[in-house]
Structure 1
């Protein structure tokens, strides 16, 4: 669904599973996108470990799943050190307009209450990673309650959404595809590195969402999803975070 602005109803329908994705074209205007991308060289970026993520992806900022230990715990010392370093680097970069703050403000307005960081032992999780994905991503899913089954946040998250804001796009390709399929134990027969082979979703309904400059996109990442490689010139750069709906009806954010 393409809409002029996110609303609380959109978030509720996504959380309830009756809507696949909501996209706001021009969520950030082209001049603002160019201002943001022109300042990105002030941020320290690094690639993922190719042993874990076989397609090259540049990123800024820590994502909790990258610090998950065998058994489901969090490598807290490493995570908090890198979260603090990322916050300091973001402050030094002073990117204006601030695309993450803009997104959080709009989502809070839609919900009628602020979108605030999820907390772990009272400490706010980092939210707002930058990722440059030009060669695509394998099909996978994201679900904080499966990734950390013993619980991680001080808040109980009952639904999880993924937000992406595209500040640079290639001339073709780079679409996010979302399938009407959630993880099932039988899917492990199709495991491929951090993701899954296409056979896991054969016959499933899907929606394909090509990126456009300035788009803001929300979808349910517990559904299997993938990113196609770019075709043509340009970089596919997006700011991303997760939005959790808590049992108390609040919105919390993390990456």
Structure 2
């Protein structure tokens, strides 16, 4: 049966000269769909980052779990989640140490992740710090080359690890992306005004959901542009459109707003 066609006037995507504390608060509260800062990274920084990309040891996801080919660098916590909702710490910390060493060898200067976190911290009024597990800082700042798109899915650490994971307690989670290479067409990010509910499980497909899960829901579409920074709340279902040619490469991490008002980061 069709769901509501009424539109939420607050669920919009805005372009801004810079991220602000109000943007982050509204995204956390669910009263904004997305915020994009055009030219968040300048062309020289994007060019330098692209020169370093091929020096990073990238790999594909396991095709049985992620059927859409995605090239990646850097460990993401969800890749180490056991069926029990706990973290495979042995593999995770090994891969984290390996990735940090590879990042240093690649010599990304200027560092797009460091720049991004510094500017987001300035917007919030306090530095972004790494999330920690048992006092140990997790990895933050992955690279993704996503040319075949991504399935409709959501990201919610509190649901993925329901017994808790970080030393910090999370109130809300945001996703940040900045593109250093974009295709001439395609590759748009779509965010729907819909969060997971039990009825969605009938549409489960690999790591995500079939398109029927978001039919009739309000959406915003954001085409990638080189150097643009994008923030949205990943608890909303979202997907990436395939691109017919070119390379769609982004550096990305999650931000968490804690119960003490801190911003923490992880991948």
TM interval, shorter chain, is over 0.9
> Counterpart of 1:42 in 2: which secondary structure?
coil
Give the superposed CA RMSD: 0.5
2:230 corresponds to 1:226 = no
The counterpart of 1:207, out of the listed 197, 211, 220, is 220
The counterpart of 2:177, out of the listed 150, 160, 164, is 164
Q: Which runs of 5+ in 1 are unaligned?
A: none
Q: Which runs of 5+ in 2 are unaligned?
A: 1-13
Instruction: After superposition, give the CA deviation of every residue in 1:181-207 in whole Å (9 maximum; x if it has no partner).
Output: 000000000001110011111110000
Q: State the Cα distance separating 1:34 from its structure 2 match.
A: 1.0
Aligned to 1:38: 51
Normalized against structure 1, the TM-score is what?
Answer: 0.99
Instruction: After superposition, give the CA deviation of every residue in 1:72-104 in whole Å (9 maximum; x if it has no partner).
Output: 000000000000100011011111110000000
For residues 103-252 of structure 1, the aligned pairs below 5 Å read 103-231=116-244, 233-252=245-264
Normalized against structure 2, the TM-score is what?
Answer: 0.94
Rounded Cα–Cα distance in structure 1 between residues aligned with 2:196 and 2:52: 38
For residues 86-97 of structure 1, the aligned pairs below 5 Å read 86-97=99-110
> Counterpart of 1:200 in 2: which secondary structure?
helix
Rounded Cα–Cα distance in structure 2 between residues aligned with 1:254 and 1:11: 16
Rounded Cα–Cα distance in structure 2 between residues aligned with 1:157 and 1:48: 28
Q: State the Cα distance separating 1:164 from its structure 2 match.
A: 0.2
Instruction: After superposition, give the CA deviation of every residue in 1:146-201 in whole Å (9 maximum; x if it has no partner).
Output: 00000000000100000000000000000000000000000000001110011111
Rounded Cα–Cα distance in structure 1 between residues aligned with 2:162 and 2:196: 15
After superposing on structure 2, the runs of 4+ consecutive aligned residues of structure 1 that deviate more than 6 Å are none
